[in-house]
């Protein structure tokens, strides 16, 4: 999380030269190059449906990053990430299939209201819309990632989707950033953003997922608004009001609660399936 938010902060510093969409292009292009070198995906043995899934995933990656950076150009980093987290939060609530899970949605809504600091005129309305769009596409990213992950081995699907997203971002990125995108210092910082925001975090996430339960990992990821707020303060000198801090804390609590509710619902579903499959055997908690 720290790498991602530092990468986002560096991207904001580059906005005056590249624009948000030019920065998106640099991040996707360098991320695609790194992933293609690491994964070396095979292009054979995949049907039309799988390639369409890759293209859809790539378009989602490009759109999600574009909306996120457009929001960052108008809102503080901590506020942007907090609003963006609402996408996975709603997805977790829907996955739990319990009415009580919507209490977490109400808590998140209270947090979003607090982010307005008692008056939403303090936040750029277009920036808020961009952040909400990033939240929606993040939820779509999770669904697309699962679909592509089932169809392609290892990192192949992600590498191909990142390449597709990079190609899709080229026209808009070049139009927005122009010749400034090809300055050596901009290219170097663009590569650093890609490594900090994509390569290192993804590698660390894979290591963490081998050692942590998925629910515990998701709870840790729910802390990203706090990490973003700290990065925004230390690197970009973005100070938040006490109401905004309260709002971020409420959204974090709602995210953790929704993740735990979804994990409990999933465990209950699995336990019912085990009892149905083996009705004569007592149900036992699996040993980790």
The reported pTM is 0.81
Which residues touch 275 (CB under 8 Å, ≥6 apart)?
Answer: 283
CB-CB contact of 11 with 176 (8 Å): no
CA dist., res. 220 & res. 232, Å (int): 19
Query: Per-residue pLDDT for the chain (288 aa), expressed as one digit of tens each?
Result: 778 888 888 899 999 999 999 999 999 999 999 989 988 888 887 888 889 999 999 999 999 999 999 999 999 888 888 888 888 777 777 766 677 777 877 888 788 777 766 555 667 889 999 999 999 998 888 888 888 888 888 788 888 999 999 999 999 999 998 889 999 999 999 999 998 888 787 767 666 656 766 666 666 677 788 888 888 888 888 887 888 888 888 888 887 887 777 666 666 666 655 555 444 433 333 333
C-alpha closest to that of 259 among 107, 47, 93, 53: 93
The pLDDT of residue 273 is 57
CB-CB contact of 170 with 46 (8 Å): no
Domain ranges of the chain: 2-269
The pLDDT of residue 267 is 64
Query: Which 8-state DSSP code applies to residue 285?
Result: P
Chain Cα centroid distance, residue 31: 15
The pLDDT of residue 60 is 93
CA dist., res. 59 & res. 141, Å (int): 10
């Amino acid at each position: 999380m720290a790498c991602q938010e530092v990468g986002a902060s560096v991207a904001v510093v580059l906005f005056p030269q590249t624009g948000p969409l030019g920065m998106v292009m640099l991040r996707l292009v360098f991320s695609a190059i790194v992933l293609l070198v690491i994964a070396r995906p095979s292009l054979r043995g995949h049907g039309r449906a799988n390639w369409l899934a890759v293209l859809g995933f790539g378009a989602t990656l490009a759109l999600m990053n574009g909306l996120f950076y457009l929001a960052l150009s108008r809102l503080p980093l901590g506020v942007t990430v907090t609003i963006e987290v609402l996408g996975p939060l709603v997805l977790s609530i829907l996955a739990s299939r319990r009415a009580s899970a919507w209490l977490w949605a109400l808590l998140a809504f209270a947090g979003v209201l607090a982010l307005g600091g008692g008056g939403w005129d303090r936040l750029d309305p277009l920036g808020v819309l961009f952040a909400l769009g990033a939240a929606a596409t993040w939820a779509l990213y999770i669904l697309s990632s699962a679909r592509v992950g089932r169809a392609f081995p290892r990192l192949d699907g992600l590498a191909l989707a990142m390449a597709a997203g990079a190609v899709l971002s080229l026209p808009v990125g070049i139009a927005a950033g122009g010749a400034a995108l090809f300055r050596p210092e901009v290219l170097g910082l663009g590569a650093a953003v890609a490594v900090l925001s994509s390569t290192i975090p993804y590698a660390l996430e894979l290591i963490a997922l081998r050692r942590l339960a998925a629910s515990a990992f998701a709870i840790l990821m729910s802390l990203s608004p706090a990490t973003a707020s700290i990065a925004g303060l230390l690197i970009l000198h973005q100070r938040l009001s006490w109401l905004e801090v309260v709002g971020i804390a409420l959204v974090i609590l709602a995210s953790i609660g929704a993740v735990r509710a979804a994990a409990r619902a999933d465990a209950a579903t699995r336990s019912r399936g085990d009892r149905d499959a083996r009705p004569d055997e007592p149900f036992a908690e699996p040993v980790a």
